[in-house]
């Protein structure tokens, strides 16, 4: 399935999930995702990540709704606990495969969704800088520590220095992109032309329609 179509389908379901108060629906989504993960063959570390990550925010909401809720708060507590799992497991269907599908996703955004190439290529460029950004923040903090200052999140200097790096890097990257032939707003030809297959649209429509039908009964 084309990653952009997959992304759109997942986002629509996630948006609906925000307003659906149903434990059953959340659990059904988790189970379907689990089946898909079995087909996709993810490794045990990814399974662990899927199981452990939602526990803290899920329990956080669960406890507070149990203690401080009103109305049908016990039901809502379970909804919140399962909802966090549903969000992450649904999202994982897109994000866990993104490493392989990133190029196709961005190509589709540019060619089929007609997102301006400035944004698409800026995104490509910046995504590649993520590890460097991580390192740079550590450097900024260590450099300050060597002068006896610990930079906490409430210190404007920390952000100021980060912004200085952002300014320098964005300028370098812009120059780099232009010198490699990137022209803003220019018409581009594509080495690989992305086509969204008809059956991708059909599958997405079936999933969304099936999901709406699933919502019809009054689930717990």
Query: Of the two residues 64 and 205, which places its CB atom closer to other proteins in the complex?
Result: 64
Pick the binder of other proteins from 129, 144, 194, 214 (CB under 8 A): 129
Cβ–Cβ under 8 Å, residues 83 and 26:
yes
Could you say which residues in the range 156-175 bind other proteins, by CB under 8 A?
Answer: 156-160, 162-167, 169-171, 173-174
The piece of 22-30, 176-184, 188-196, 201-209 that touches other proteins (CB under 8 A) is 176-184
Stretch that binds other proteins, among 84-92, 106-114, 186-194, 205-213 (CB under 8 A): 84-92
93: closest CA among 32, 44, 20?
32
Min dist CB 169 to other proteins, Å, is 6
* Residue 133 found at the interface with other proteins (CB under 8 A): yes
Number of residues that bind other proteins (CB under 8 A): 79
Shortest distance in whole angstroms from residue 136 CB to other proteins: 8
> Shortest distance, CB of residue 181 to other proteins, whole angstroms?
13
* Interacting positions 94-113 with other proteins (CB under 8 A): 94-95, 98
Question: Taking phi first (over 0 means left), then psi (-120 to 50 degrees means alpha), and beta for anything else, what does residue 69 get?
Answer: beta
Nearer to other proteins (CB atom), residue 59 or residue 194: 59
| Own/partner long-range contacts of 91-96 (Cβ < 8 Å, ≥24 apart) | 91/10, 91/14, 92/33, 92/37, 92/46, 92/50, 93/6, 93/10, 93/33, 93/36, 93/37, 93/40, 94/3, 94/6, 94/7, 94/10, 96/37, 96/40, 96/42, 96/46
Q: Does 219 bind other proteins (CB under 8 A)?
A: no
Task: Pick the binder of other proteins from 27, 28, 42, 69 (CB under 8 A).
Answer: 69
By the rule CB under 8 A, 67 interacts with other proteins? yes
Q: 158 with 141: CB under 8 angstroms?
A: yes
> What single string gives the DSSP state of each residue in 102-169?
HHHHHHHHHHTS---HHHHHHHHHHHHTHHHHHHHHHHHHHHHHHTT----TT-HHHHHHHHHHHHHH
Q: Which is nearer to other proteins, 160 or 201 (CB)?
A: 160
Site string for other proteins, 3-32 (x = CB under 8 A): -------xx--xx-xxx-------------
| Beta-carbon count within 10 A of 84 CB | 21
Binding residue for other proteins, selected from 5, 23, 29, 80, defined by CB under 8 A:
80
């Amino acid at each position: 399935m084309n990653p952009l179509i997959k992304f759109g389908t997942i986002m629509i379901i996630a948006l609906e999930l925000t307003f659906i108060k149903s434990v059953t629906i959340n659990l059904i989504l988790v189970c379907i995702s689990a089946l898909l993960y079995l087909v996709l063959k993810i490794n045990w570390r990814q399974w662990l990540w899927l199981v452990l990550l939602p526990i803290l925010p899920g329990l956080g909401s669960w406890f507070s709704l149990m203690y401080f809720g009103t109305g049908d708060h016990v039901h809502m507590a379970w909804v919140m606990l399962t909802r966090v799992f549903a969000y992450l497991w649904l999202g994982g269907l897109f994000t866990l495969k993104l490493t392989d599908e990133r190029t196709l996703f961005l190509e589709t955004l540019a060619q089929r969704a007609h997102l301006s190439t400035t944004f698409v290529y800026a995104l490509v460029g910046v995504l590649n800088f993520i590890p460097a950004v991580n390192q740079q923040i550590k450097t900024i903090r260590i450099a300050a520590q060597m002068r006896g200052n610990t930079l906490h999140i409430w210190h404007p200097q920390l952000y100021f220095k980060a912004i200085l790096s952002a300014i320098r890097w964005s300028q370098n990257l812009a120059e780099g992109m232009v010198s490699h032939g990137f022209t803003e707003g220019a018409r581009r030809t594509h080495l690989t032309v992305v086509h969204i297959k008809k059956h991708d649209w059909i599958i997405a429509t079936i999933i969304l329609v099936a999901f709406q039908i699933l919502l019809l009964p009054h689930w717990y």
